[in-house]
Structure 1
Amino acid sequence: MINKIKYSILVLLTLAAFTACQNDDMVTPNVDAMVAEPGDLLNQTFPSTKVRVEGENLKGLKKITLDDKIDISFNPNYNSDKSFIFTIPFDEKLGSRFGVQPITFLTAAGSVTKNIEILQPLPTILKTIPAVATPGFPLEIQGTWFYNVSSITLAGKAVSYSVNSSSSIIIGLPANAVSGSELVITTPGGKATKSIEFATVILVSDFDGNGLRTSWTSYGDVDSFSTNTAGGPTGNYATLVWTGSTANGYNGSSAGGGSNFLSTSNNDATRAFIDIDVSANVVGAQFAIQLNTIDGINYGYNFKVTDVNWTTKTISIADFKDNYGFGANSAATLDPSKINEIKVGIAQGDTPNPSAIKFDNIKIRYQ
């Protein structure tokens, strides 16, 4: 009996020693460093950057998980006992974020978790839409890494903005912005800059005494005309009323001709526009806009009001046509630098009776 007990104790001691030896032989993965390539960032990296992991017992890599939720793909052919390589992803839909976060490596020998810091890249500005901006109008900025935007300035002054996405921002441009002003977008990743070119904008009249044409009169079958009606978009506005008279067959208003609005270099009709704030007493009231040039050429553009509230109507000069806007020949070949008069009236052949059109802030723009 005593011998059996001794034998059992001996077996237990042998098993314990064997188990201890096994535990001594067990290995676990260890990560000494995570190095961004190229460069020398240690345990830090940017999105879409390769990271080289260095350590021991890393063979048989099975899975990489970032921030406890994002699985990272890798090439097992670049895996050894001492190192492996993977690329940091960045996908908002998966919950990617910047800052320090855990990353777990599962290998044949077990798992190990370390912290890695994902740095926000420098933002970039790729282009603006439109390519040539207009003072007082919105401008879309397209680029990359528009995350956590802290400020946007133009010529050193803050501007209003709305971030549509990480690649698109809409900014509000001041009315007095000038070409060559530097736009600066600031994020935690740094600053993106771009020189902004602006269109040439000539104020024809705002009916508050400003612009190149301030003394307006009416003609033709106009019932009444006023240039100082209060309550417009920016102050006074003009009102032209037609009540059905056909004695002349036409009507309108003008501040006369004079010198050209644009310089001789502004000679491409596809780059020239008329901007005018419009309203009316009734939907369907039809505006008739006419352009005259210093050499006696005239083109027209007619449109119906679709909203009695004030809206800004933008018309490409290339869309004007001969025969007071009803002809077949467009003004695509017209030299806009020769325009020296803008007339505003009602196309009385197809408009409600009575029609009262309202207009303000007439501008000619070249971009």
Structure 2
Amino acid sequence: MKNLIKIYLVSAILALTLFSCSEDEVELPAITSFSSQTSPNASGTPGELLKIEGTNLSGLEKIILDNKLEVSFNPNLNSYNAIFFNIPNYDFEDPYNFGVQPIKFITANGEIDSQINILQPAPVFSKLSVPNPKLGDKVTIKGSWFINIQSVTFGEDPLEYTLVSDQEMYFIVPTDATEGQHIVITTEAGSTAIVEAGPGISNTTFVDINFGFVDYLFEDFDGNGLYTSTWGFYGDAGDLSVTAAGETGNCAQYDYNGATTFGYNGCQNNEAGAFLPNTATEATKATFKMMVNANAGASFDVILDTWAYNFTVSTSGWQEVSTTLDQFGSNYNPGNAATDTEKIDPSGILQVKVSLPNNGTSSSVQFDDITFRVQE
């Protein structure tokens, strides 16, 4: 009987020992890093892919955001060392919260409590219903992320607006608006800006108010405008061609061949007489506008008869360049504009010329939609 009791005691101790070892061997899931496509921290915008790295992460069963929203995920992207999932797309009918909030990962081996910072995207403009509104006109802005709006300003003054949806709003152009103002929408994510870029900052839509301006299309190389004849060359001329590579239809392309015999080059319309009204005599009230396609850093001169202005583009691709005519310098020299006591008379302009730097190297520029805007 004593021996039997000893056997029972040994068996019980062995069972306890085995049970203890089994519990010690269970490895709980753990996170070592939590990052997104744009941040090493656990933050991102709606729809952005996030990655969790750690140990014992296999067997993912659920992801719970803010203790209420179940987040979908692809189990095929779940492994022992990693979990991939996308921040849910934002539902404007049933929105979730932005900012820092809890997130839970439930796996077959245990639960992980963590935090995530969901960032609200900054407002984005796509277009205005009226590109050149008059004072008192109703203007509709379309875009995205018009939510949690803190303010809307026109220039530096608060602007009354009506929010139609997260993608649309409208306002009335103030009757006391002045030239050069722009709209700024400020949300919890940030504000718009003219030049800056970065987190919380979106693009700016410039409001080109019509203060009695009239646009005179000079040439669009599609058979429209005040001048639709041929163009010629002068100086160390290269090649000029009309190509279908414009944004909308044809454009002109001037290629300087690098010759330096004359020290100048360019292309121009054949003289066909003055084209602006004889009342357009003030250079400050007339603006030259042209679409160009060139590489960032490209420099070229536009010459109106003998008055010159130099443009240098900061970005590549099609873009508009413009300046008022009082910025053109006399005697083919853009630098003379600062000291010229007399300015060009817009009503007497006969020719538009495009010239490239005569630096001995070949270069090219495409141009289109030459327009003069006159305040009448």
TM-score normalised over the length of structure 1: 0.51
Runs of 4+ aligned structure 1 residues displaced above 6 Å come to none
Q: Which amino acid aligns with 2:58?
A: K
Change (3 A) 1:40 1:5: same
Aligned residue for 2:19? 19
CA distance 1:6–1:172, change in 2 (3 Å): farther
Structure 2 unpaired stretches of 5+:
193-203, 214-274, 278-376
Q: Could you say what secondary structure the match of 1:9 adopts?
A: helix
Who is 2:52 aligned against?
Answer: 53
Does residue 1:120 correspond to 2:131, yes or no? no
Q: Distance in 2 between matches of 1:27 and 1:3?
A: 39
Distance 1:134 1:74 in 2: 51
**CA shift for structure 1 position 128:** 1.8
Segments of 5+ residues of structure 1 without an aligned counterpart are 203-263, 267-367
Q: CA 1:265 to 1:160, structure 2 compared with 1: closer, same or farther past 3 Å?
A: farther
Rate the CA distance shift 1:201–1:70 in 2: closer, same or farther, 3 A. Answer: farther
In structure 2, relative to structure 1, the CA distance for the partners of 1:18 and 1:198 (3 Å cut) is same
Larger Rg: 1
Q: Does 1:134 pair with 2:138?
A: no
* Structure 1 residue 196 corresponds to structure 2 residue 207: yes
Query: One-letter code of the match for 1:19?
Result: F
In 1, Cα distance between equivalents of 2:164 and 2:11: 73
Q: 2: CA distance between counterparts of 1:58 and 1:84?
A: 7
Aligned to 2:159: 159
Q: Give runs of aligned pairs for residues 106-117 of structure 1, distance below 5 A.
A: 106-117=106-117
**Deviation, structure 1 residue 18:** 0.7
Seen in structure 2, the aligned counterparts of structure 1 residues 177 and 26 have a Cα distance that, compared at 3 Å, is same
Partner of 1:85: 84
Deviation at residue 153 of structure 1 after TM alignment: 1.0
Deviation at 1:129, TM superposition (A): 2.3
Number of aligned residue pairs: give it.
205
Q: Which residues in structure 2 correspond to 1:1-367 (within 5 Å)?
A: 1-37=1-37, 39-89=38-88, 90-192=90-192, 193-200=204-211
Q: Is contact 1:152–1:184 with CA below 8 Å preserved after alignment? A: yes
Q: CA–CA distance in 2 between the matches of 1:18 and 1:93?
A: 55
Distance of aligned partners of 1:134 and 1:15 in 2 relative to their CA distance in 1, 3 Å threshold? farther
Distance 2:40 2:173 in 1: 39
SS at match of 1:74: coil
Q: Within 1, Cα distance between the matches of 2:276 and 2:117?
A: 54
Identical-residue share of aligned pairs (%): 32
The aligned counterpart of 1:261 is none
Alignment CA distance shift 1:265-1:98 (3 Å):
farther
Q: 1:135 touches 1:178 (CA, 8 Å); kept in 2?
A: no
Cα deviation, 1:149-206, whole Å, max 9, x if unaligned, reads: 111111111111233322122234311224542111111212122111234569xxxx
CA distance in 2, matches of 1:73, 1:11: 48
Cα deviation, residue 265, structure 1 = 8.9
Which residue is 2:308 aligned to? none
Equivalent residue, structure 2, for 1:305: none
